[in-house]
Amino acid sequence: MPKILIVEDNELSRDMLSRRLRRKGYEVLVATDGQEGIAMAQRELPDLVLMDLSLPDLDGWEATRRLKKDATTQHIPVIALTAHAMSGDREKAIDAGCDEYDTKPIDLRRLLSKMIRFVEDPETSGGEKSMA
């Protein structure tokens, strides 16, 4: 079961996204700010990080930069999430080391289609495993 780390300071967004991903079969970890997100990524080595970019203190760009500098976490794909549909945000996210980018409000189908480029879809991988 792919392990997803959500780094998001907004409680409503965090709870809604974690609930919807758990329902899809993902194992979900949550962190509420950049520091906690880095610590949890180092400790839990998730298969994918969903990184809100606007976080208090340590923002998502800087948190991603640190994850990508750390040999233990640099292989973990990071999908940046931002409410800012500003042109230039995507480039800033990619420059910080993010592997993908998506905008809020979350369109779950669109986000899942980006996630499965990096991690297995738990709904189909279960079937494949039982065939093997």
Residue whose beta carbon is closest to Mn ion: 54
Nearer to Mn ion, 73 or 82 (CB): 82
Which residue, among 113, 41, 115, 40, has the nearest Cα to 80 in the 3D structure?
115
* Closest approach of Mn ion to the CB of residue 15, in Å: 14
Q: How far apart are CA 42 and CA 115, in angstroms?
A: 20
Residue 26 C-beta: closest distance to Mn ion, Å: 21
- Residue closer to Mn ion (CB basis): 57 or 95: 57
Q: How far is the CB of 111 from Mn ion (least distance, A)?
A: 16
Q: At what angle do helices 34-44 and 60-69 cross, to 10 degrees?
A: 30
CB closer to Mn ion out of 66 and 104: 104
What is the helix (H) or strand (E) element at residue 15, kind and residue range? helix 11-23
For residue 31, CA distances in Å to 67, 122, 128 come to 14, 22, 31
Binding-site ranges for Mn ion (CB under 5 A): 9, 52, 54
Instruction: Decide whether 11 or 91 has the Cβ nearer to Mn ion.
Output: 11
Nearest approach in angstroms of CB 96 to Mn ion is 15
